[in-house]
Amino acid sequence: MRTTVGIIGAGPAGLLLARLLHRAGIDSVVLESRDRAYVEQRQRAGILEQGTVDVLRAAGAGERMDREGLPHDGVELRFDRRRHRVDFPALTGGRSVMVYAQTEVCKDLIALQLKEGGPLLFEAEALAVEDAEGDRPRVRFRHEGVEDVLECDYVVGCDGFWGIARGSLPAGLGRTFERVYPYSWLGILADVAPSHDELVYARHDRGFALLSMRSPSVSRLYLQVPAGTDAEEWGDERIWDELERRFETEDGWRLARGPITQKSVTPMRSFVHEPMRHGRLFLAGDAAHIVPPTGAKGLNLAVGDVVTFARALEHERRTGSAELLDAYSATCLRRVWQAERFSYDMTTLLHRAPDATEFEDRLQLARLERIASSRAAETDLAEAYTGFPLD
């Protein structure tokens, strides 16, 4: 099998890259180790930055998002039983975000790829990337019980933190930077209308809480819990009671309860691999970097990576110059580190460390007071939350 770009992984990064390349007249093949149902059902991110929304629309993948997604013009910060709304458009010149689940993004992109794009092979396990330093790298893979080889001009690894793409890099190449946090998120899906029309980020002495949503009738909520927590240790009433405590306000706001349909625990880590390219093998999304979910940056960073690659390859095809491809890693890493910085800041701003002192508690409150009282500090948060430029 032969193609121009071999894409490992059919998450939002790999699927969007295939779509962008198709629109540019560049052929690709997508290899995904899981089946279609798994890809379309795995719960991940739900917040799309302004730039991500714009890219999906431009790629012809925004019709259902615009019909069913929930535009959000701000978030609410809660601390010391008080409420402060951050108004995104007023602070950023009109930018906002969209609540639209990763599962739905994947469904839309899969449907388009199967209808209009190149081959998308499910249950095709990538085994190795070979000859990345040569002119024609190869991906060995197994599909329907048979091993095969995909010959490419370029390979893009969009196969996540545990995928084979980063593991195919030569030993000792590059550096990794990592921070593992001593707490996790216990997340739930509940069949109840969201208790607020925008996301609520709550800092509490008992730990962080987040109120989010998946639709007008389905709530997505999170609690900070100790690292290593088993979701089944938490009964439904205990979860709702704890959420109610952490969202408590002095004006008597109440949290609506409903049947919990799903529970999961998400570990928290920050991770970056440098560089994001070796020869003709390029890393994108979680294969190259991880952010804690507090800043809602994971999916959006992956979009930035594949947009950068697609534009660079288009430039090479149009001009014959590999200048932008050669700059891929440096270009992506500028956005990555800003997103890592913002995600770290949001995480340490809102979560209480297990060994936190009263001094550190007061510093958190002082930082939140600064955001609530300073337009400059509030603008910095709003600009980062709605997204760094994709240029």
Residues marked as catalytic: 72, 201, 293, 297, 385
- Least Cα distance to 149 among 159, 140, 158 occurs for 140
CA distance 115 to 117: 6
3-state SS class at 130: strand
Residue 228's region, left for phi above 0, alpha for psi from -120 to 50, else beta, is left
Straight-line distance from the first to the last Cα atom of the chain, in angstroms, rounded to the nearest whole number: 34
CA distance 64 to 101: 12
Burial bucket for residue 173 (CB in 10 Å: 0-12, 13-18, 19+): exposed
10 — phi, psi (to 5°)?
-115, 45
CA distance 112 to 120: 11
Tally of CA atoms within 13 A in the half-sphere of 160 that contains its CB: 13
- Least Cα distance to 15 among 138, 122, 90 occurs for 122
Name the helix (H) or strand (E) containing 250: none
250 — phi, psi (to 5°)?
-75, -15
Contacts with 382 (C-beta within 8 Å, 6 or more apart), sequence order: 86, 87, 88, 91, 92, 95
Q: Which tokens sit at 35?
A: 């089946």
Identity at 19, one-letter amino acid code? R
Identity at 98, one-letter amino acid code? M
Length of the chain, in residues? 391
CA distance 304 to 235: 39
- Least Cα distance to 210 among 383, 48, 220 occurs for 220
Tally of CA atoms within 13 A in the half-sphere of 138 that contains its CB: 9
Radius of gyration, alpha carbons of the chain: 21
Residue 276 and residue 292 in contact, taking contact as beta carbons nearer than 8 Å:
no
